[in-house]
């Protein structure tokens, strides 16, 4: 499959002749090709978004009118969920059963949550004071460059498009080189919804043109999800021009198991929340922190669970663990496994490639024990199906271990006493904490402490990244008119 660039409300031929091959991580064969946008192509996309924001109707519509358009957008996505799930599975290897929820249903539900939240935002307020009366408004920040990762391309796009578009912004969506094909569904949805030309533009580009986009003088706001290393570079580039930026970056999240935890609850949640997407989710709980007295019991049960997982064709409904997204990703994960061994951690299960699979970038589900907080595999994000068990003697020590990384994205606490679990969770320096596997919904803000990012996405709070707060001095008579029912 080949696509052009979606600019100004239509597919256009690129000015660049360079192409990006999309390679199946299962077959290792090319399944599509897309343009590698040049700087001139990026200029066209930003110009279209700029025109739509500065002179187009979208920012000037009422909130109700934008909500109605976004409802048409999500209705189109609902009709194509089966196609979306298959497309993302083929592009990046997400097991199809997870693709149906996380990759296909999730983006629509995320947008629906923003649609529900938008009326809750205080878009304007009359505020009297001793020195005068003000009208305080939240107005769209402008043209947004939304840069999304390969592990959940449409779900993360929805995190950005929902509040940006509902606020009245226009967007240039920059896809990941690994997963550009699925973005066509958002172009189709924009057309089905009747979004004005230039409100949503979609470009595929590699590193050079991507950096040009985030530094473009026509862009008012950058929203990026990806690695912490890339986030540092984006923050540096945006900082030069004081461009607004939101960063949702990496994680090294801990699942803290207290001494009264029910392992019949813990094990299914480790399976669901530590190994999602073959380990390629930034909020996965890849460090399992367990009381020394219960370590052996937990390790035995985790080993049994890992060895029961089906590794194979991501399009097969029985598959639990699919291939990693790219050969370079497998190489990196294998390097971390080697470092874990070299630093003294004990490899209990996994650690290699499945012997029965002749192609595909697979790594066996892997478990290390005897891991200490200073080891590389306990501190750095691996982004593969690799778990580490760390043990503790006191609850304070468990909290210290959970906090002993530069990241602070997510975490879990397991305990029969939920009040005690919440007390431990309050000590964890992370943006979200799940108690006994209860995940936060799309109505809740997410984001990270420390090097896991800047800002929050989702929920009512997610709109704040896409608005500027503006104050108007107004007379008392006009204030009364605005405040009248």
Give me 411's structure tokens.
């975490």
Q: Is 35 part of a structural domain of the chain? A: yes
Residues labelled catalytic = 248, 282
- Check whether residue 164 and residue 110 sit in a common domain: yes
Question: Do 370 and 347 touch, CB atoms closer than 8 A?
Answer: no
Q: Is 389 part of a structural domain of the chain? A: yes
**Number of compact structural domains in the chain:** 2
The three-state secondary structure class of 421 is: helix
Q: Is 285 part of a structural domain of the chain? A: yes
- Give the Å distances, CA to CA, from 305 to 252, 297, 320, 385, 409: 21, 13, 11, 13, 25
The three-state secondary structure class of 237 is: helix
Give me 251's structure tokens.
């994680």
- Check whether residue 345 and residue 359 sit in a common domain: yes
- Check whether residue 206 and residue 274 sit in a common domain: no
Q: Is 484 part of a structural domain of the chain? A: no
Within 10 A of 49 (CB to CB), how many other CB atoms are there? Answer: 30
Nearest-angstrom CA–CA distance, 225 and 162: 15
Nearest-angstrom CA–CA distance, 207 and 230: 10
- Check whether residue 174 and residue 314 sit in a common domain: no
Model's pTM, two decimal places?
Answer: 0.96
Helix axis angle for 81-92 and 184-193, nearest 10°, is 160
- Strand ranges inside 69-142, DSSP E: 124-129, 132-140
- Check whether residue 262 and residue 227 sit in a common domain: no
- Check whether residue 326 and residue 394 sit in a common domain: yes
- Check whether residue 261 and residue 224 sit in a common domain: no
- Check whether residue 42 and residue 188 sit in a common domain: yes
Q: Is 440 part of a structural domain of the chain? A: no
* CA-based radius of gyration for the chain: 23
Strand order in the sheet with 453-454: 10-12, 5-7, 200-204, 170-175, 143-147, 221-225, 244-248, 453-454
- Check whether residue 245 and residue 266 sit in a common domain: no
Q: Is 481 part of a structural domain of the chain? A: no
Q: Is 443 part of a structural domain of the chain? A: no
Give me 171's structure tokens.
């967007």
User: Chain-centre distance of CA 361, in angstroms?
Assistant: 22
Q: Is 479 part of a structural domain of the chain? A: no
Q: Structural domain of residue 90, as residue ranges?
A: 5-249+452-473
Sign of the Cα pseudo-torsion (185, 187, 193, 199, in order):
positive
- Check whether residue 310 and residue 372 sit in a common domain: yes
H or E element that contains 256:
strand 253-257
Give me 209's structure tokens.
């043109």
- Strand ranges inside 4-155, DSSP E: 5-7, 10-12, 19-23, 30-35, 124-129, 132-140, 143-147
Give, for all 485 residues of the chain, the pLDDT tens digit. Answer: 456 799 999 999 999 899 999 999 999 999 999 999 999 999 999 999 999 999 999 999 999 999 999 999 999 999 999 999 999 999 999 999 999 999 999 999 999 999 999 999 999 999 988 888 999 999 999 999 999 999 999 999 999 999 999 999 999 999 999 999 999 999 999 999 999 999 999 999 988 999 999 999 999 999 999 999 999 999 999 999 999 999 999 999 999 999 999 999 999 999 999 999 999 999 999 999 999 999 999 999 999 999 999 999 999 999 999 999 999 999 999 999 999 999 999 999 999 999 999 999 999 999 999 999 999 999 999 999 999 999 999 999 999 999 999 999 999 999 999 999 999 999 999 999 999 999 999 999 999 999 999 999 999 999 999 999 999 999 888 888 888 77
The owner of tokens 């997870």 is 98
140 has which bridge partners?
Answer: 467
- Give me the CATH number covering residue 363: 3.40.309.10
- Check whether residue 396 and residue 423 sit in a common domain: yes
Give me 429's structure tokens.
């320096």
- Give me the CATH number covering residue 229: 3.40.605.10
- Check whether residue 156 and residue 82 sit in a common domain: yes
């Amino acid at each position: 499959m080949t696509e052009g660039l979606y600019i100004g409300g239509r597919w256009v031929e690129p000015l660049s002749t360079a192409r990006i091959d999309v390679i199946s991580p299962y077959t290792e064969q090319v399944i599509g090709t897309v343009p590698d946008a040049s700087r001139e192509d990026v200029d066209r996309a930003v110009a279209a978004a700029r025109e739509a924001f500065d002179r187009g109707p979208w920012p000037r519509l009422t909130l109700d009118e934008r909500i109605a358009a976004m409802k048409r957008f999500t209705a189109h996505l609902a009709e194509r969920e089966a196609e979306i799930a298959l497309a993302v599975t083929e592009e990046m290897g997400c097991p199809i059963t997870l693709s149906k929820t996380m990759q296909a249903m999730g983006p629509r539900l995320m947008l629906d949550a923003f649609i529900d939240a938008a009326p809750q935002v205080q878009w304007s307020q009359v505020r009297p004071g001793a020195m005068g009366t003000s009208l305080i408004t939240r107005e769209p920040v402008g043209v947004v460059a939304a840069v999304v990762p390969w592990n959940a391309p449409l779900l993360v796009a929805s995190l950005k498009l929902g509040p940006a578009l509902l606020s009245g912004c226009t967007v240039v969506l920059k896809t990941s080189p690994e997963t550009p094909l699925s973005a066509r569904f958002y172009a189709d949805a924009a057309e089905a919804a009747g979004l004005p030309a230039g409100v949503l533009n979609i470009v595929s580009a590699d590193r050079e043109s991507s950096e040009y986009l985030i530094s473009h003088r026509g862009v008012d706001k950058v929203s990026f999800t990806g690695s912490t290393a890339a986030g540092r570079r984006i923050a540096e580039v945006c900082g030069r021009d004081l461009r607004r930026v939101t960063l949702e970056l990496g994680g090294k999240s801990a699942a803290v198991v207290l001494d009264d935890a029910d392992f019949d609850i813990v094990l299914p949640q480790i399976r669901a929340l530590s190994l999602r997407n073959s380990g390629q989710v930034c909020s996965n709980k890849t460090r399992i922190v367990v009381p020394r007295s219960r370590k052996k019991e937990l390790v035995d049960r985790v080993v049994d669970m890992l060895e029961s997982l089906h590794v194979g064709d991501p399009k097969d409904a029985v598959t639990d663990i699919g291939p990693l997204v790219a050969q370079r990703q497998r190489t990196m994960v294998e390097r971390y496994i080697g470092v874990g061994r070299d630093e003294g951690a004990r490899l209990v299960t996994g650690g290699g490639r499945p012997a029965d699979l002749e192609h595909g970038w697979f790594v066996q589900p892997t478990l290390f024990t005897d891991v200490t907080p200073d080891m590389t595999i306990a501190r750095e994000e691996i982004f593969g199906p690799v778990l580490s068990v760390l043990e503790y003697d006191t609850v304070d020590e468990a909290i210290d271990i959970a906090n002993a990384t530069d990241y602070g994205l997510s975490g879990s606490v397991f305990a029969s006493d939920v009040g005690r679990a919440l007390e431990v969770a309050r000590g964890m320096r992370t943006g979200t904490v799940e108690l006994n596997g209860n995940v936060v919904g799309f109505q809740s803000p997410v984001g990270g402490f420390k090097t896991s990012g800047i800002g929050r996405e989702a929920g009512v709070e997610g709109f704040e990244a896409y608005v500027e707060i503006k104050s108007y001095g107004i007379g008392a008579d006009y204030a009364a008119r605005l405040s009248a029912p």
